[in-house]
Chain A
Amino acid sequence: MEKIKETGRGWQSGMAKNITFIVTKDCQLACKYCYLVGKNSKERMPWEVAKQAIDYILDHESEMREESVIWDFIGGEPFLEIDLIDRICDYLKTEMFRRNHHWFNSYRFSFSTNGINYHTDKVQRFIQKNHDHLSIGITIDGTERKHDLNRIYKGDGRGSYADVVRNIPLWLEQFPHGGTKVTISSEDLPYIKESVLHLYGLGIHEVNINCVFEDVWKPGDDALFEEQLMQLADAIIDGGYYRDYACSFFSEHLGKPLDCVTQNQNWCGAGKMLAVDAEGNFYPCTRFAQYSLREKKAWIIGNIRDGIDKNKLRPFLLLDRCTQSPQQCIDCEVAEGCAWCQGENYDAADTPTIYQRATAICRMHKARVRANNYYWNKLFRKLELEDAREACEENHPKPNPLNC
């Protein structure tokens, strides 16, 4: 039976509260597309702040009724603070058990790392200790030249590919279903096809890709993007990769018009998530912390001492697609699957609001839709000719929930 590999949905997707510790604003790298404009080596989360944040969160169990929790650690590069993270995780486990909290036995520790420190003793000890509750994604952007185009060391500016790729086998051994997240900026466009195939070649079966939401796109980028995706489609179909590998660019649920009544959900989970920084301030998502914002003030919803100001969360929890969208998006005939980042919307807005949707990726989305249509038309025809279409329909891929 012919099968098509589905892109993975996150653990307990839609049922888990995502709580992020911004443990450090430091990173070994200075990626050119990084949205973190305020990275620095000074703001590291003190243990006392982490503990107080945990106590506040667990004390307010009745206000966080999600079935599960994802304790997310972000930087900068989170593994630079592995000692702190280990202590936080030990305390979380102890406290969730001691309090008989409903999240005990339904939790994950999640990391998105640049992979450079993955092999170190401290990180490996942490992985051994917590393996069954870990989700770790290593960011590798594709081929060496593509990766090193953006993911460079701060200071000397040399590429980081070699230091990351050496840790991929160990990572895949420990997390065979590990997926990677690839970010596409204007300069990366010529390398999309080779990069995805390269990642497949490294043994990574799930490649989640998105174009940056920032306004970096130049005239002609959409045509280049479309061409790369069509070449990738040919390679995936002709090479049979669709059976065992997934790439989030291609989804059946993409490119249809959307109704403002029945399909009016917000795309982004900001506001349902919670982030805390080294100062002990709470945010609706890490993208609303000051180090993530170019133009706007941080959107602080409270702190570990005074708690969460629920009024500051109301606008997030009331967001819907059409209220924040310009008419061109409401009327768009290929609106389905067009994503947005609430933080980038806020940062790019003409006034300090989260209710003005940024449209910088409009032409890139439309290019993706055209290539996506090509992919599915070609794949389905191939499967029909091979009398495998029915099996394919039964196993058709789900939309990838990759948001940011």
Chain B
Amino acid sequence: MIQYLVILLDDTSVSFCHYGNAKKERRLMPLETLKAGILFGMKENLNIQFVYPAYALPEAYDAVIEGIDHVKIMPAATPEGADVLVMNGWKECESWTAGAGVSCVLRLPKAEWFGQAGRVAALLEKTERLNVVLTDVETFTEDDFKAYERSLAEVANLLEKAYMNGKTPQLNLLTDRMMLEQMNNCGAGDTNITLAPDGKFYVCPAFYQAAGGYAIGSLAEGLEIKNAQLYRLDHAPLCRHCDAYQCRRCIWLNRKATLEVNTPGHEQCVAAHLERNASRQLLLAIRKHGTFLPDKREIREIDYLDPFDVRKEW
């Protein structure tokens, strides 16, 4: 069931996920389209998330946007009023100071993460929640998997210390799985859809801002998600058996890697399982110090990293 409407205010609206925005030319959503999009969201009872470009919008837009309850996703260059702030690379983090209640998304390539993952400790001092998004996870090699495993162990160690000091920072890669007992994925095409400046709906921003996407209807003609079942977990033949509950299960990455929206590639699966296993170790480590999340089950030990490899056991 669709619950969220992501509205891209401009073609250059910041990417807050795995995809890179290929659109470099500004194209502001027409005001009438914005109003119609908000009206659609209101009538469909959707939570609206506005995604901002790196420039100030005309005042008329602000007035329209403030007319509805919403979340603002903004780039680091224009952080004023953000609910979710997106930073690209460590450099954009240096001058950042979060307001209260602001979540942070840190997008960076693996080359910036490996060997520097410990730098998240400083960010977690400034925000209650940090989502780290590796922008090239689909290129992971066997060596990268090892480096990723090491980096997660290093960060888990930092988080353990923070929890021992009475802090409760949230880092998507490691703490989400500790809290989850069912899949909590990106939900593109299932729980959320995107409205682009062209007045058309898309499964997620990547299907508009990156190459090779397609629309799923428009404000003028209505929403039409063909093969909508394929975006649901029960029609994802691998993921419905999986317990890497924190996995983004990125629909766009699925399609890019395997040509199917319901099937993840090997790299996404292994990366998610390295996170899952590191979360397991973190949970065990924190519990050695005392009661922690007593209502949550242990994360069981498994002997695979890609559920595709054990598919015959289902």
Contacts and interface: CB of A to CB of B under 8 A. Distances in A.
Interface of A: 299, 310-312, 314-315, 317-320, 323, 349-356
Given A318-B263, A323-B235, A323-B237, A311 B257 contact: yes
B240 to A, nearest CB: 9
Nearest to A327: B229
Contacts of B226: 350-351
B253 to A, nearest CB: 10
Contacts of B261: 353
Contacts of B265: 311, 314
Contact of B260 (A310, A320, A350, A353): A353
A351 B308 CA distance: 24
A299 to B, nearest CB: 7
A317 to B, nearest CB: 8
B259 interface: yes
Contacts of A352: 259
A323 B260 CA distance: 13
A315 B259 contact: yes
B180 to A, nearest CB: 23
B235 A315 contact: no
B267 to A, nearest CB: 8
Contacts of A314: 238, 258, 260, 263-266, 308
A353 B227 contact: yes
**Which of B230, B235, B263 has the most C-beta atoms of chain A within 10 angstroms of its own C-beta?**
B263
Nearest to B226: A350
Given A310-B266, A355-B235, A315 B260 contact: yes
8 contacts: A311-B257, A315-B260, A319-B237, A323-B237, A351-B227, A352-B259, A355-B262, A356-B230
A355 B259 CA distance: 11
A37 to B, nearest CB: 21
Contacts of A351: 214, 226-227, 230
A243 B216 CA distance: 56
A323 B229 CA distance: 9
Contacts of A311: 257-258, 265-267
A353 B261 CA distance: 8
A353 B266 CA distance: 19
A315 B227 contact: no
Top 3 A-B residue pairs of the complex, sorted by shortest distance between their CB atoms: A318-B237, A315-B260, A350-B226
Given A314-B266, A315-B259, A315-B260, A355 B230 contact: yes
A355 B266 CA distance: 19
Contacts of A350: 226-227
Contacts of B258: 311-312, 314-315
B260 to A, nearest CB: 4
A303 to B, nearest CB: 16
B150 to A, nearest CB: 25
B24 interface: no
A318 B267 CA distance: 17
- Summarize A's interface: helix, strand, loop or mixed: loop
A285 to B, nearest CB: 14
Interface in B212-240: 214, 226-227, 230, 235, 237-238
A323 B262 CA distance: 11
A320 B311 CA distance: 12
A310 B259 CA distance: 12
Contacts of B308: 314, 317-318
A70 B311 CA distance: 26
Given A353-B261, A356-B227, A356-B230, 20 more contacts: A299-B259, A311-B258, A311-B265, A312-B259, A314-B260, A314-B264, A314-B308, A315-B259, A315-B262, A317-B308, A318-B237, A318-B308, A319-B237, A323-B237, A349-B227, A351-B227, A352-B259, A353-B262, A355-B227, A355-B230
Interface string B249-273: 0000000011111111111000000
Contact of A320 (B227, B237, B262, B267): B237
Nearest to A310: B266
A318 B214 CA distance: 24
Contacts of B238: 314, 318
A352 B261 CA distance: 9
A314 B238 CA distance: 9
A356 to B, nearest CB: 6
B231 to A, nearest CB: 11
**Which of A315, A319, A350 has the most C-beta atoms of chain B within 10 angstroms of its own C-beta?**
A315
Nearest to A356: B227
Nearest to B308: A314
**Which of A311, A350, A352, A355 has the most C-beta atoms of chain B within 10 angstroms of its own C-beta?**
A311
Interface in B151-171: none
A328 B264 CA distance: 27
A315 B263 contact: yes
Nearest to A313: B258
Contacts of B257: 311
A318 B311 contact: yes
B313 to A, nearest CB: 14
A273 B197 CA distance: 44
A312 B260 CA distance: 9
B40 to A, nearest CB: 22
A353 B230 CA distance: 9
Contact of A354 (B214, B260, B267, B311): B260
**Which of B258, B259, B264, B267 has the most C-beta atoms of chain A within 10 angstroms of its own C-beta?**
B259
Nearest to B267: A311
Contacts of A349: 227
A353 B229 CA distance: 12
Nearest to B265: A311
A159 to B, nearest CB: 41
A314 B258 CA distance: 7
Contacts of B263: 314-315, 318
A353 B258 CA distance: 10
Nearest to A300: B259
A299 B263 CA distance: 15
B217 to A, nearest CB: 13
A266 B10 CA distance: 44
Contacts of B264: 314
A357 to B, nearest CB: 11
A282 to B, nearest CB: 14
